[in-house]
Amino acid sequence: MEKIFGWGSPNQRYRADSSKDGEQPRAPRNEGVDSRAMVIAGNELSSTTNAARGSGSGTNTGYGDDGRYESDYRAKYKELERKERESRRRYEQQLAEKDRRLQDMKSRQQAIAQEDRKAREALNSEVQRLKSELHWTRGQLSRHSQENMIYKDEIRRAETQNEETKRRLEEKANELKGAQAFLKHANMLSGADVISLVDRLNSEVYQGAASMVDTFEFEGTSRRMDDAAWKRAMGATSKTIGGELTRALIAQRGRDKDDYDPILVQYALQTCLIFCCFKICISWAPEEENSQFLRSVYSEIQKKEDQVVAGRWRALTRAHIRETRNPDTETKQIIHELRAVLIVAGCSDKELSTEFEKDLLEITTFAIRVQTAIGESITSMDLEPYILPPGIPFDASLMEEEGGGQAQGKKTVGSIGLGVAQLVNGDRTILVKAKVLLDSAL
């Protein structure tokens, strides 16, 4: 019956159908739900056929029943073929889609691989370039380091040369400064300025002596002291105020208080102050020995050098020595000399160190200002302060009398005012006359 109705196995029918279409027969694919459905349908068809066969053996139903069964079978078979074709079509579509996706994935993978290869090549190229640049940079750095060392050596040599040049310039500048100091002609003060300072100093001395004599109490012979202290006071006053004025004070010492003449003590104090100020004004140094030495050196320079050189040497020397002077020390020396005068005059000296120390310090300061003015501020000429010794005849060209009376034929007792003389090329000009006390005033 299989031969009559053209039945056969599904494989045979598949090969026959394939041959009809002119295609090469190919093995059926045993996969998926559709293949299993074909097997199940074939089994069902076989069962139906077998049942028909069994019934025909007992009862002869005729050919018509077999034709009906064959028609059902063919219909089911066509349906199965249709489903198989549909399943194959869907499967091939899925397979084609998977192939397409696989090709896309391969294409993308190839593109990614190509991009990765290009990126690696670019990265390797960049690495090589950076290595090359690094090598070049290291070379440049090495060269620059060597150049830097060379420059540092050159800078050190230049700095050394610069220091040496600066040192030489400083030496030359100091030499030039010293030369300019010696060649400088300008005076810092004029003669009129010095005259004003001297007049102010004389006025301060006069006022100080007048204030002191009004304060000190006259004790006369009631003031007791040992012989040694008396002799020291006598020796000191003989140097500061002179012998004649000292004797006049001693003579007054033995008088009563009613016969006490304070003006004589004022003259003595004034003379002592002027003498002390004169010593300050002419001194070159605080110590008398050093002052005498410098004065003698300056005298030799004056003989051999021009006034400009000698004057600048004097100014520079005194300017440096001035820093060693101490006004307080000078003031204490003045107080010591005044105390000797008060002892000889028979006056109390207790207030001398307490009430008048400040006034005496101002007098000392003025004396130092005069000393600085004539010693440092004027170099084109020499200015000399002077006082006159006791016992010389009155000379109107050098001195003026206290009180302005008749002075001809009289002698000096002491100087109560400082004088100033100007010396230029050996010529002497009096700028301020010294004020003197004559013997007629005693």
Residue 201 C-alpha from the chain's centroid: 47
- Mean pLDDT of the residues in the chain: 80
pLDDT digits (tens, 9 = 90+) for 151-165: 999 999 999 999 999
Cα–Cα distance, 206 to 341 (Å, whole number): 16
* Per-residue pLDDT at 188: 78
* Share above pLDDT 90 across residues of the chain, in percent, rounded to a whole number: 31
> 317: Cβ–Cβ under 8 A, 6 or more apart, which residues?
284, 294, 298
Nearest to 421 by CA among 377, 389, 388: 388
* Per-residue pLDDT at 21: 43
Band (26; pLDDT cuts 50, 70, 90): very low
pLDDT digits (tens, 9 = 90+) for 96-124: 888 888 888 888 888 888 888 888 899 99
> Which residues does residue 421 pair with via DSSP β-bridges, in sequence order?
384, 430
* Count of residues in the chain: 442
pLDDT digits (tens, 9 = 90+) for 166-224: 988 888 888 777 666 555 556 777 878 899 999 999 999 999 999 888 887 776 655 55
* Per-residue pLDDT at 4: 36
The owner of tokens 């190229």 is 125
* Per-residue pLDDT at 225: 62
- CB count within 10 Å of CB 290 equals 14
* Per-residue pLDDT at 405: 62
Question: Among 323-337, 347-361, 366-380, 392-406, where is mean pLDDT lowest?
Answer: 347-361
Cα–Cα distance, 208 to 200 (Å, whole number): 12
Q: Are 368 and 280 in contact (CB under 8 A)?
A: yes
Is the pLDDT score of 299 beyond 70?
Answer: yes
The owner of tokens 């005069």 is 370
pLDDT digits (tens, 9 = 90+) for 7-22: 444 444 444 444 444 4
- Mean pLDDT confidence for 264-280: 94
Give the range with max mean pLDDT: 191-200, 272-281, 316-325, 417-426: 272-281
pLDDT digits (tens, 9 = 90+) for 246-265: 998 888 876 777 677 889 99
- Mean pLDDT confidence for 285-313: 88
> Which residues does residue 382 pair with via DSSP β-bridges, in sequence order?
423
Q: Which two tokens stand for residue 127?
A: 């690495």
> 91: Cβ–Cβ under 8 A, 6 or more apart, which residues?
29, 32, 34
Q: Are 308 and 379 in contact (CB under 8 A)?
A: yes
By CB neighbour count within 10 A (0-12 exposed, 13-18 middle, 19+ buried), where does 186 fall?
exposed
Q: Which two tokens stand for residue 422?
A: 């100007």
In terms of phi and psi (left: phi > 0; alpha: psi -120 to 50; beta: otherwise), the region of 409 is left
pLDDT digits (tens, 9 = 90+) for 213-227: 888 777 665 555 667
Domain residue extents for the chain: 10-121, 191-441
Q: Are 402 and 436 in contact (CB under 8 A)?
A: yes
* Per-residue pLDDT at 273: 96
Q: Of all helices (H) and strands (E), which one includes residue 434?
A: strand 434-438
The owner of tokens 């051999």 is 304
Q: Of all helices (H) and strands (E), which one includes residue 383?
A: strand 382-386
Cα–Cα distance, 418 to 278 (Å, whole number): 7
CA atoms within 13 A on the CB side of 308: 8
Cα–Cα distance, 367 to 198 (Å, whole number): 8
- Output 275 or 213, whichever has higher pLDDT: 275
> 375: Cβ–Cβ under 8 A, 6 or more apart, which residues?
284, 314, 315, 318
> Which residues does residue 427 pair with via DSSP β-bridges, in sequence order?
424
- Mean pLDDT confidence for 45-59: 46
pLDDT digits (tens, 9 = 90+) for 302-333: 888 888 888 888 888 888 888 778 888 899 99
CA atoms within 13 A on the CB side of 140: 6
The owner of tokens 């002596």 is 209
